[in-house]
Amino acid sequence: MRELVIHGHAEDGYGKTVDAFRRNFAERGEVGAAVAVYDGEKPLVDLWAGYRDRARRLPWERDTLAPVYSCTKGVAALVVATLVAAGHLDYEQPVARYWPEFGAHGKAAITVRDLLDHRAALHALHGPRLTIADLADLDRVAAVLAEQRPAWAPGGRQGYHTISFGLFLNELVRRADPRGRTIGQVLAEDIAGPLDLDFSIGSAGPQRLARLATLVRTGGLDLRHERDIAWRLGIELLVRRGDFYRSTLSPDLGMPERFDRPDLVGVEVCGSNGIGNARSLARLYAAAVTAAPKLPVGEGILRRMAGPSGPAERDAVLRVQTRFHLGFRRSCSRFAFGSADHRAYGAPGLGGALGFADPATGLAFGYVPNRLGLTINGDVRCRDLFETVFGVRRP
């Protein structure tokens, strides 16, 4: 058996994080992964190890990329925030103000905030089925989205928009941006470029694809490493019924372990198919929590991100306690990350990835693996890492 080599560095005082990262490979079935912690522009932890392929022949490199699933939602929320800061969007205004066709079929009162915080009741799409190829035709996608009807009264209960979140937001941004740009384009030009982030949505050329890790499905002996498996949602997928099951088909992007396909990473599904690495997630949230000048959001909006939000509630789709605020997942007792004050905000991704900012400490965290975990809230591999950073043990 080949000896594991941990690459990168950690500042003095972060030895426990290195130890936890090593344990993930020795005891928790990690295949390949990276973890990063930033204090402003300073990397406190920047580690990578393992393999980026199923056969365990190709080493995980410093610049290896991986799909981050719903971590993409936090990135999309930051793109929306740039348009709010510029005066092109307002969180409290109806979406139909910017996209008139959206207001049909009982959607006229849905606000930008409702859409961001999963209160639009549009988690499952109906009518013409969109294929992955269709997603490149933004006008067709917009027409299908405008014809949707809310599943219940919008603005009330929260119901996670698993895939549709990114489609609706992308069209909203395209309508509001003065140049008609998509979320992926705004990200590339206004955020990732100035901050030198290795993160993209829908722009995976040959060079990026060559660095993309192959995803590894959890199974067999790997199950012994799982904690908090989302059994109820798994049953929904098995019997092909329920709100969560329907949300995963809106549209159907295929099996999660195939999210590294060129056809999928080449289109914009702005809440689901971003590709990047732990370093870029941490640096992005570090720019947010420190109000870095190169992040065109503005201190006022950034203070709102870290400010008070509503209480956690049982999500009608995920069936667990969650809390959302301006498009970000907020720390809560059921899914706690960052400091004990629960002001941390970010976004987790299917399989275990996580990126977040912690206003209490000013630190930012990113973790990206390629073995897909089976939990919805707080994969144990990731949880053990951020607990060594923030010193808060969870029940």
Position of tokens 């590709």? Answer: 275
First to last CA, the chain: 34
Statement: residue 229 has pLDDT above 80: no
Judge contact between 130 and 251, C-beta under 8 A. Answer: yes
Q: Is 179 helix (H, G, I), strand (E, B) or coil?
A: coil
How many CA atoms within 13 Å lie on the side-chain side of 39? 9
CA–CA dist 295, 22 (Å, integer): 33
CA–CA dist 270, 182 (Å, integer): 9
Query: Can you give the residue ranges of every domain in the chain?
Result: 1-395
**Cα angle: 258, vertex 263, 269; to 5 degrees:** 85
Average pLDDT over the chain reads: 92
> What pLDDT score does 228 carry?
61
How many Cβ atoms from other residues are within 10 Å of residue 284's Cβ?
Answer: 29
Judge contact between 360 and 215, C-beta under 8 A. Answer: no
Q: Which of 22-36, 225-239, 334-348 has the lowest mean pLDDT?
A: 225-239
Judge contact between 362 and 39, C-beta under 8 A. Answer: yes
Residues paired with residue 249 on neighbouring β-strands, in sequence order: 252
> What pLDDT score does 395 carry?
44
361 Cβ partners below 8 Å, 6+ apart? 338, 339, 390
Statement: residue 224 has pLDDT above 70: no
CA–CA dist 195, 372 (Å, integer): 28
Which tens digits make up the pLDDT trace of 305-343?
Answer: 999 898 999 999 998 889 999 999 999 988 899 999 999
Residues paired with residue 385 on neighbouring β-strands, in sequence order: none
Which tens digits make up the pLDDT trace of 378-395?
Answer: 788 999 999 999 986 544
Q: Percent of the chain at pLDDT above 90?
A: 78
Q: Is 268 helix (H, G, I), strand (E, B) or coil?
A: coil
Choice between 36 and 222, residue whose per-residue pLDDT is larger: 36
CA–CA dist 54, 58 (Å, integer): 9
> What pLDDT score does 258 carry?
87
Which tens digits make up the pLDDT trace of 164-201?
Answer: 999 999 999 999 999 999 999 999 999 999 999 999 99
Superfamily name and number for 1-395: DD-peptidase/beta-lactamase superfamily (3.40.710.10)
Whole-model pTM over 0.85 = yes
Query: CA quadruple 289, 290, 295, 300: dihedral positive or negative?
Result: positive
